[in-house]
Amino acid sequence: MNEPQQKWTETIDADHSLFDLKLKEVWKYKDLVYMFVKRDFVSSFKQTILGPIWFFINPILTTIVYLIVFGAIAKLPTDGAPPILFYLAGVTLWNYFSGSLLATSNTFAGNSSIFGKVYFPRLVTPLSIVISNLMRFGVQFLLFLLAWVYYYSQGKVHANIWVLATPFLVFLMALFALGVGMIFSALTTKYKDLSMLLGFGVSLYMYATPVIYPVSSLQGIFKKLAYYNPLTGIFECFKYAWLGVGDFSPAMLGISTGIILILLMIGVVVFNKVEKTFMDTV
């Protein structure tokens, strides 16, 4: 008697396009994304005294340091914006980008034990990192809003229509961190030293980004190069929107968007290629 032929409900193979994001499959695992986000949030403050209050303490202390070092000592300009609000805006954006990038770059090495035991779309992990950091950004952005309301009531700052672009700016930062993070997560499976170099590189990259200074303070070739920094358009647009200062133009944001999309495509290709064989090298 012939046995009935089995029908597989799902087939897992490595034969897929390098440009395939598997978004439909990721959506099927949305509960897993939620679990990873919850895990990252809880583990960040487990066995700490102040817990989520660190979300507020970190940008406050950083802003105070910037006020002393770059405001009082170095006397860097802020384009007429209140220094506290100027630095707080930069810190809020930078914390989200750098945190997302560094965590995403550790996707393969940090989750190899899970990847080796069970299958799920590997893209779930970097996506959950970007989302969990978005929660932290939301809390720190609330702190920025409280400070902004105070200075707005004093008539020292004014917003404009570009504040509506804030979600798009955050989305661009998420894509940028995701794209570059996936590139480095793929490379660090084979070259472990890159993880340490990345941390150092991100610290230097902050000084190439208008976090502590406005683009208008740059001159010559440095100002031209700043326009091709993907974060420049994002930071300048945010400060122009909320503080009414900055050397911003829509073309600057367009350049940032184009570069970020290119880096994201490169990241997807590299990530998809390495995920097929990374267990052999990690």
pLDDT, tens digit (0-9, with 9 covering 90-100), for 149-169: 999 999 899 889 999 999 999
- Rounded CA-CA distance 248/78 in Å is 14
Return mean pLDDT, the chain: 84
Where do the domains of the chain lie?
A: 23-280
| AA letter at 184 | F
pLDDT, tens digit (0-9, with 9 covering 90-100), for 92-138: 999 999 999 998 888 776 666 676 677 767 788 888 889 889 888 99
Residues 130, 56 contacting (CB under 8 angstroms): no
pLDDT, tens digit (0-9, with 9 covering 90-100), for 52-85: 677 788 889 999 999 999 999 999 999 999 999 9
pLDDT score recorded for residue 274: 76
Sign of the Cα pseudo-torsion (54, 56, 58, 60, in order): negative
pTM, entire model: 0.86
More confident residue, 69 or 46: 69
Sign of the Cα pseudo-torsion (236, 242, 246, 247, in order): positive
Model confidence at 51: pLDDT above 80: no
Element (H, E) at 139: helix 124-153
SS (HEC) of 211-279:
CCCCHHHCCHHHHHHHCCCHHHHHHHHHHHHHHCCCCCCHHHHHHHHHHHHHHHHHHHHHHHHHCCCHH
Mean local confidence (pLDDT), 222-247: 93
